[in-house]
Amino acid sequence: MSKTALLFAGQGAQTVGMGKDLAEQFPAAKKWFDRANAALGYDLAAICFAGPEAELTKTENAQPGIFLAGWVAFELLRERAPALRFEATAGLSLGEFTALAAAGALSFEDGLKLVRQRGRFMQEACEATRGGMAAIIGLDEGLTREVCAAAGVELANLNCPGQLVISGATEKIGQACELAKAKGAKRALPLPVAGAYHSALMAGAKPGLQEALARVRLAAPAVPVISNVTAQPHGAEAEIQARLVDQVTSSVRWEESMRYLLAQGFTRFIELGPGKALSGFMKRIDPNAQMLNVGDVASLEATVKAVL
CATH value at residue 179: 3.30.70.250
137 with 109, same domain: the answer is: no
What is residue 177's predicted lDDT score, i.e. its pLDDT? 97
195: in domain: no
109 with 159, same domain: the answer is: no
140: in domain: yes
42 with 114, same domain: the answer is: yes
120 with 236, same domain: the answer is: yes
DSSP structure string for 9-76:
--TT---TTTTHHHHHH-HHHHHHHHHHHHHHTS-HHHHHHH--HHHHHSHHHHHHHHHHHHHHHHHH
Q: Are 159 and 254 in contact (CB under 8 A)?
A: yes
User: Which amino acid makes up residue 262?
Assistant: L
Kindly tell me if the per-residue pLDDT of 17 is higher than 80.
Answer: yes
114 with 157, same domain: the answer is: no
What is residue 103's predicted lDDT score, i.e. its pLDDT? 98
What is residue 1's predicted lDDT score, i.e. its pLDDT? 66
54: in domain: yes
Kindly tell me if the per-residue pLDDT of 16 is higher than 80.
Answer: yes
91: in domain: yes
pLDDT over 90, % of the chain: 96
Q: How far apart are CA 209 and CA 74, in angstroms?
A: 25
Q: Which of 2, 107, 167, 198 is catalytic?
A: 198
93 is catalytic: yes
239: in domain: yes
Last residue of a domain, one of 190, 214, 240: 190
Last residue of a domain, one of 190, 215, 234: 190
Q: What is the DSSP letter of 216?
A: S
16 with 92, same domain: the answer is: yes
215 with 104, same domain: the answer is: yes
Q: What pLDDT, in 10s, does the model give residues 129-180?
A: 999 999 999 999 999 999 999 999 999 999 999 999 999 999 999 999 999 9
Banded pLDDT at 224 (limits 50, 70, 90): very high
Q: What pLDDT, in 10s, does the model give residues 24-36?
A: 999 999 999 999 9
Closest CA relative to residue 223, chosen from 74, 84, 91, 103: 103
Q: What is the DSSP letter of 198?
A: T
Q: How far apart are CA 24 and CA 147, in angstroms?
A: 48
277 with 154, same domain: the answer is: no
pLDDT averaged over every residue in the chain: 96
Q: Which of 93, 199, 227, 257 is catalytic?
A: 93
Q: What pLDDT, in 10s, does the model give residues 179-204?
A: 999 999 999 999 988 899 999 999 99
79: in domain: yes
What is residue 222's predicted lDDT score, i.e. its pLDDT? 97
40 with 184, same domain: the answer is: no
Domain ranges, residue 178: 130-190
Q: What pLDDT, in 10s, does the model give residues 199-216?
A: 999 999 999 999 999 999
Q: What pLDDT, in 10s, does the model give residues 257-274?
A: 999 999 999 999 999 999
234 is catalytic: no
Query: How many domains does the chain contain in total?
Result: 2
Last residue of a domain, one of 140, 172, 190: 190
CATH value at residue 20: 3.40.366.10
- Over residues 72-97, the mean pLDDT reads 97
pLDDT over 70, % of the chain: 100
244 with 115, same domain: the answer is: yes
Strand 266-272 to 88-91 pairing: unpaired
134 with 214, same domain: the answer is: no
> What pTM value is reported for the model?
0.96
268 with 178, same domain: the answer is: no
20: in domain: yes
